[in-house]
Amino acid sequence: MKQFSLQHFFRKIQLIIPLLKRSFGFKGYILLLCVAVGTISGLGAVLLKTLAHECHELVYGIAEKIPGTVWILPALPAIGIFLCIILVKFVFRKKVYEKSLAGVIVSTTNGTSDIPRHKIFSHIITSGLAVGTGASAGLEAPIALTGSAIGSNFAKLFHLGRESRTLLLACGGGAGISAIFNSPVAGALFACEILLPAFSVPALVPLLMASAAAAVVSELCSLPNPFIQLNTGWTVTNVPYYIFIGIAAGLISAFVIRVSVAIAKRAEKWNNVWIKAFCGCFILYSFFLLFPALKGEGYHFIAALTQGKENLVPDNGILKTLFETPWALIALIGMLVFIKPLVSAISVESGGDGGIFGPSLFTGAFLGYFISKFLNMTGITYIDPVNCIAVGMGGVLAGVMHAPLTGMFLIAELTGGYKLFVPLMIVVALSSFISKRLVKHNVYKSMIVMKGGVPEQKNEEVLMASKHLRDLIEKDYSPVHQNDTLRTLLKAVMNSKRNIFPVLTEEGEIIGIVKVDSIRKFILNAELYDMILVFDIMSDTGPLLDVNDSLSDAAALFDRLRIWNLPVTEKGKYLGFVSKAGVFDTYRKILREKHDLF
């Protein structure tokens, strides 16, 4: 009996591919792969959620049996953070460990859509440990990153092209969001708004199928929904207050982005990861000791607010007695709106793993509740706090991600709050608009900019960057040498159809260019034919292109210099010229042959 091997399994899969393509057609084949990616990503979400839950139950179950629990519990997140660092350094052996979706966005905008294989499982482990022990972050970005890695590597396994690889990557990321929230529409829209370099209507079909597959897996595994189902509607008289919530959500979203980027920038300056982790954990311990509601995702505190149990927010904190009066409690809730983004960023940058998704929902929920209670307690109006919690979550999420459709449909699916669709539309639209005016890029792209990257490459730049110059080189230019006479040069002119002549050394390096225009004044004076050398009339070469440069590099030079031909070299040796017309003819051909995502 032959021993089973992974390599043998992959070879069997390769044999099935032609059969699948013949049976389903190419698009049907891609759709089948998208559903498979969605299913596997859904299982990844279940695994991550289960790991975080079991880790929480184990660690906190042990800690609560020890005397002095109030002092011990705030220190538990440090365990998860240090475990993450140990895993990254000594098990995964990674010097750079990208924890946000910024790396995924870069891979799609630069056209590679290539996610390292280890990300299929590594973030499930690290974020499960970090969030499970109480680090103030969410599990959504890690599972989106895991799903994206599943899609990317699935595409590489089946040898798919760039467009299909990008599609499967987006399907995996969207499916992760779909499974963890059990919200398939929001998952598909998240992939379109955040992961894809450009919104693609045809891609919605496979994205929805992948998200639906992940949602089915989530439903079969009975992942709990921490949010209540809304049954109340809204009144037209409260529209001005929803507008106010939208404006506030936009301002808070910009604050969340700026705080996240500022802390990430400061954390980058720390070279010693252990000192950085120790300092970060000390700050976190102080915050968790004073405000226990900041630990973990905080979804159970959102549920407490929707049930009118706001007195649970300061529970078990050493300052609990300070927040016993209604106004003091509301002030605490307002404070947590500003503290949560800070603590979440420190949790991740000090060495833990997690995302900004969950903290954004927490911040939005507390913002909505704070505004509603303030309006109700001052007698300005009465507005349902639960409705304000829902639209607040959607508003801050939409503002932080710059993704209004994701924010709107996610909250509608999470809470069943389709009756709140109009207030949700108002809040997410205003929040996204204001946040974009204050901060140019969303939280992920702002991180890319901070690190010196390009957050939004144009599609044509990606296409041109994928092509190199070797096939465009024109080699029918007649070379001359600097010691050649004008007579020799004129013979080259007579035998050539070109008006440019490269001047080469004996070693084949280009040192100058002679243009026909520069010799016109000497043509009628035959006495000078043997007196003037090429050296006397040649001009500088100007910028040179390397054979490995892309069409994008050549187009940028042509545009900047306003010339029609550029010399190309390989390891310093002259090869020929590339023309502006040739570059743009090739680009037009690429556009004609470009495939859609689906």
CATH of the domain at 561: 3.10.580.10
Are β-strands 500-504 and 565-570 bridged in parallel, bridged antiparallel, or unpaired?
unpaired
pTM for the complete prediction?
A: 0.83
Q: Please indicate, yes or no, if residue 1 is contained in any of the structural domains.
A: no
Task: Write out the DSSP string of 491-526.
Answer: HHHHT-S-SEEEEE-TTS-EEEEEEGGGGGGGTT-G
Mark whether 196 and 76 lie in a shared domain: yes
Tell me which of 456, 477, 509 is where a domain ends. Answer: 456
Shared domain check, 501 and 381: no
* Residues 122 and 257 both lie in one domain: no
Q: Over its length of 598 residues, how does the chain's per-residue pLDDT go in tens digits?
A: 444 455 565 566 666 767 667 777 888 889 999 999 999 999 999 999 999 999 999 999 998 888 878 899 999 999 999 999 999 999 988 878 888 898 899 888 877 889 999 999 999 999 999 999 999 999 999 999 999 999 999 999 888 888 889 999 999 999 999 999 889 999 999 999 999 877 677 888 999 999 999 999 998 887 666 666 666 678 889 999 999 999 999 999 999 999 999 999 999 988 899 999 999 999 999 999 999 999 999 899 998 998 888 989 987 778 888 898 999 999 999 999 999 999 999 999 999 999 899 999 999 999 999 999 999 999 999 999 999 999 999 999 999 999 999 999 999 888 876 778 899 999 999 999 999 999 999 999 999 999 888 777 666 666 666 667 887 899 999 999 999 999 999 999 988 889 899 999 989 999 999 998 888 888 888 888 888 999 999 998 888 999 888 887 888 888 888 888 999 999 889 999 999 888 888 877 776 666 666 6
Q: Are both 554 and 539 inside the same structural domain?
A: yes
Residue 228: inside a domain, yes or no?
no
CATH, residue 70: 1.10.3080.10
**Structural domain of 94:** 6-220
Q: Which two tokens stand for residue 535?
A: 């050296």
Same domain? For 118 and 97 the reply is yes
Number of domains in the chain: 3
Whether residues 428 and 287 share a domain: the answer is yes
The 8-class DSSP code of residue 230 comes to P
Regarding whether 174 and 50 lie in a shared domain, the answer is yes
Beta strands in 421-467 (DSSP E): none
Euclidean distance between CA atoms 218 and 482, whole angstroms: 74
Looking at the structure, tell me whether residues 216 and 357 fall in a common domain. Answer: no
Q: Which two tokens stand for residue 23?
A: 């049976």
Residues 415 and 368 in one domain: yes
Evaluate whether residue 476 is within a structural domain: yes
Rounded CA-CA distance 241/554 in Å is 54
Q: Do the domain assignments include residue 316?
A: yes
Q: Which residues pair with 305 in a beta bridge?
A: none
HSE-up of 307 (CA within 13 Å, CB side)? 13
Chain Cα centroid distance, residue 483? 57
What separation in angstroms does the CA of 248 have from each of 341, 427, 430, 484, 496? 15, 9, 9, 75, 71
Q: What is the 3-state secondary structure (H, E, C) of 84-140?
A: HHHHHHHHCCCCCCCCCCHHHHHHHHCCCCCCCHHHHCHHHHHHHHHHHCCCCCECH
Same domain, 100 and 26: yes
Structural domain includes residue 225: no
Where a domain ends, among 435, 456, 477? 456
Domain limit, last residue, from 428, 456, 484: 456
